[in-house]
């Protein structure tokens, strides 16, 4: 294994650049170094002006999503040695406006997320529970997969539907809505349905499946969307066929 | 995504990348997705073809023979072979990728893995085809 590797990092300084340009940095190649470690080395020793987001270094915070050699990746979970001999292309996540260097603005997602009400909804008339809402392990298993989402935005960066139509609610927001819809303690499924089943909700998804392929937490947003399409179709069928009392 | 950059209060100048025209050639999955969308045209064509066939049968033996001759022309054969490939792509997506993910099937309280649902779909498809073949040929 060579002991050096080149990172070709996209730089964009809004105050001076009209568009991003790649810049190369040669860094040590160590077996245990992730791409994020490489970026930290650049920041600490080669060029302190490089901007990028990171926090936990262990695939929990979801901050360090970037495009590595064309693929949306968590840079803390992508090893330099897997991309040797390089050069390794490090670019900001696709489909989001670039604020600076490798930092993107995810405000669009942050505005969409509360629309699907990602919290436990209980009826207001209900008296506060005496202590807690118990849940069986099997009931927890129903939504656990979708609760693993860390909002890293890799799914949005991989989604061609979102690239072409920014109004699309998007994979993570829908998966997180399902996380609460499938929770036995939740009563808000009907409140979420209007947002989820609008044209820019689940029906905009054409099942490319890349969101699930790039998800570092195996959330399977594509699966959750297809599952909700089935639920929404059944619901509208019920509305059409059944009298009001039986729905 | 058409604007290159825009000014807002907090971000002096965002850079927005344009989606390239040939974005769908970047990954095999994107290409497959575009081909699958295109397959709907061929699904529609098969419906039209079937209606023309039904119409020809209803009009009598003379029309039916003319329909058969028309279907046997090289151009029509090529079109229908291409259409068949697209229909198979469409069907395989539905059976093995989409519906196993959309459906939750439980057996004795345990959720069946998607691959098994896909196999179940294949078996159901075979049985339905055998039934149709039996009705037509038998």
DSSP per position, A167-227: TS--HHHHHHHHHHHT-TT---HHHHHHHHTSTTTGGG-----HHHHH-TT---HHHHHHH
Average pLDDT, chain B: 85
Please check whether residues A207 and A121 belong to one and the same domain: yes
Q: Does pLDDT of B54 surpass 90?
A: yes
Would you say A16 and A99 are in contact if contact means Cβ atoms under 8 Å apart?
no
Least reliable range by pLDDT among A225-234, B12-21, B23-32, B42-51:
B12-21
Residue A211, min C-alpha distance to chain B (Å): 11
Please check whether residues A113 and A199 belong to one and the same domain: yes
Those of residues 144-183 in A touching chain B at CB distance below 8 A are: 160, 163-164, 166
* Distance (Å, whole) CA A163 – CA A204: 12
* Distance (Å, whole) CA B38 – CA B59: 33
Helix runs in B60-113, H state only: 61-71, 74-92, 99-102
End-to-end CA distance of chain B: 58
Mean pLDDT of A50-66: 95
Please check whether residues A62 and A176 belong to one and the same domain: no
Residue A96, min C-alpha distance to chain B (Å): 7
Among the candidates A104, A120, A154, a domain finishes at A104
Residue B137, min C-alpha distance to chain A (Å): 35
Please check whether residues A143 and A228 belong to one and the same domain: yes
Per-residue pLDDT reduced to its tens digit, B74-116: 999 999 999 999 999 988 887 777 778 777 777 777 778 878 8
Residue of A136, A208, A221, A230 to mutate, testing the B interface (most B Cβ within 10 Å of its Cβ): A208
Least reliable range by pLDDT among A125-139, A222-236, B45-59:
A125-139
Residue A241's pLDDT band (boundaries 50, 70, 90)? confident
- pLDDT (0 to 100) of residue B10: 59
Contact B5 A99 (CB under 8 A): no
Per-residue pLDDT reduced to its tens digit, A173-220: 999 999 999 999 999 898 999 899 888 999 999 888 899 999 999 999
Contact A94 B17 (CB under 8 A): yes
Among the candidates A78, A104, A130, a domain finishes at A104
Number of CB atoms found within 10 A of residue A199's CB = 10
Domain that holds residue A180: 107-246
Q: Minimal Cα distance from A208: which residue of B? A: B33
Give me the count of residues in chain B.
138
- β-bridge partners, A7: A25, A88
Number of CB atoms found within 10 A of residue A155's CB = 30
Please check whether residues A90 and A164 belong to one and the same domain: no
Please check whether residues A121 and A83 belong to one and the same domain: no
Would you say B15 and A145 are in contact if contact means Cβ atoms under 8 Å apart?
no
The CATH number assigned to the domain holding A186 equals: 1.10.1060.10
Residue B2's pLDDT band (boundaries 50, 70, 90)? very low
Would you say A172 and A110 are in contact if contact means Cβ atoms under 8 Å apart?
no
Closest-CA residue to A223 (of A214, A211, A234): A211
Q: What residues contact A239, with CB distance under 8 A and at least 6 apart?
A: A247
- Nearest Cβ partner for B11 among A94, A105, A209: A105
Please check whether residues A123 and A224 belong to one and the same domain: yes
Whether chain A has a CB inside 8 Å of the CB on B135: the answer is no
Please check whether residues A126 and A236 belong to one and the same domain: yes
Please check whether residues A111 and A95 belong to one and the same domain: no
Contact A94 B27 (CB under 8 A): no
Please check whether residues A56 and A172 belong to one and the same domain: no
> And the tokens for A70?
């064309």
* Distance (Å, whole) CA A220 – CA A213: 8
- pLDDT (0 to 100) of residue A9: 97
* Distance (Å, whole) CA B67 – CA A89: 58
Among the candidates A71, A86, A104, a domain finishes at A104
C-alpha atoms less than 13 angstroms from C-alpha of A207 in its C-beta half-sphere: 21
Q: Does pLDDT of A72 surpass 70?
A: yes
Please check whether residues A113 and A142 belong to one and the same domain: yes
Q: Does pLDDT of A90 surpass 90?
A: yes
Q: Does pLDDT of B11 surpass 90?
A: no
The CATH number assigned to the domain holding A70 equals: 3.10.20.30
- C-alpha distances out from residue A7 to A34, A41, A65, B133, Å: 12, 11, 16, 61
Counting residues of chain A whose pLDDT is more than 70, the rounded percentage is: 96
Residue bearing the bigger pLDDT, B25 or B13: B25
Residue A134's pLDDT band (boundaries 50, 70, 90)? confident
What is the count of structural domains for chain A? 2
Whether chain B has a CB inside 8 Å of the CB on A232: the answer is no
Please check whether residues A32 and A123 belong to one and the same domain: no
- pLDDT (0 to 100) of residue B6: 54
- Nearest Cβ partner for B23 among A105, A160, A206: A160
Closest-CA residue to A82 (of A44, A158, A47, A30): A30
- pLDDT (0 to 100) of residue A118: 94
Closest-CA residue to A182 (of A163, A196, A162): A196
Residue of B7, B15, B24, B115 to mutate, testing the A interface (most A Cβ within 10 Å of its Cβ): B15
Mean pLDDT of A3-28: 93
Per-residue pLDDT reduced to its tens digit, A78-87: 999 999 888 9
* Distance (Å, whole) CA A244 – CA B10: 50
């Amino acid at each position: 294994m060579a002991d050096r590797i080149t990172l070709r990092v996209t730089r964009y300084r809004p105050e001076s650049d009209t568009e991003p340009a790649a810049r190369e940095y040669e860094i040590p190649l160590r077996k245990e170094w992730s791409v994020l470690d490489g970026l930290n080395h650049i920041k600490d020793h080669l060029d302190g002006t490089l901007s990028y987001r990171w926090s936990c270094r262990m695939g929990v915070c979801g901050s360090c999503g970037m495009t590595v050699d064309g693929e949306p990746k968590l840079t803390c979970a992508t090893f330099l040695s897997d991309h040797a001999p390089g050069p390794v292309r490090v670019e900001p996540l696709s489909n989001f406006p670039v604020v600076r260097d490798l930092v993107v603005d995810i405000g669009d997602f942050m505005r969409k997320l509360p629309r699907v009400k990602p919290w436990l909804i209980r009826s207001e008339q209900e008296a506060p529970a005496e202590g807690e809402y118990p849940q069986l392990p099997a009931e927890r298993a129903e939504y656990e997969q979708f609760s693993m989402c860390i909002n890293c935005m890799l799914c949005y960066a991989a989604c061609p539907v979102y690239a072409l139509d920014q109004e699309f609610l998007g994979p993570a927001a829908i998966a997180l809505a399902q996380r609460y819809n499938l929770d036995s303690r939740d009563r808000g499924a009907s409140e979420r349905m209007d947002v989820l089943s609008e044209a820019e909700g689940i029906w905009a998804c054409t099942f490319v499946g890349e969101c699930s392929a790039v998800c570092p937490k195996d959330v399977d947003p594509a699966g959750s969307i297809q599952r909700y399409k089935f639920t929404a179709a059944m619901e509208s069928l019920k509305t059409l066929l059944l009298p009001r009392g039986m729905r | 995504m058409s604007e290159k950059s825009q000014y807002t209060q907090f971000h002096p100048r965002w850079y927005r990348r344009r989606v390239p025209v040939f974005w769908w050639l970047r990954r095999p999955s994107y290409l497959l997705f575009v081909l699958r969308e295109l397959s709907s045209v061929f699904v529609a064509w098969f419906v039209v073809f079937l209606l023309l066939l039904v119409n020809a049968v209803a009009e009598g033996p003379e029309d039916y023979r003319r329909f058969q001759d028309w279907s046997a022309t090289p151009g029509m054969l090529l079109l229908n072979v291409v259409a068949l490939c697209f229909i198979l792509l469409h069907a395989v997506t539905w059976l093995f990728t989409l519906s196993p993910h959309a459906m939750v099937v439980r057996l004795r309280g345990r959720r069946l893995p998607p691959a098994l649902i896909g196999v179940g779909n294949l078996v159901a498809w075979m049985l339905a085809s055998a039934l149709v073949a039996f009705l037509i040929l038998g």
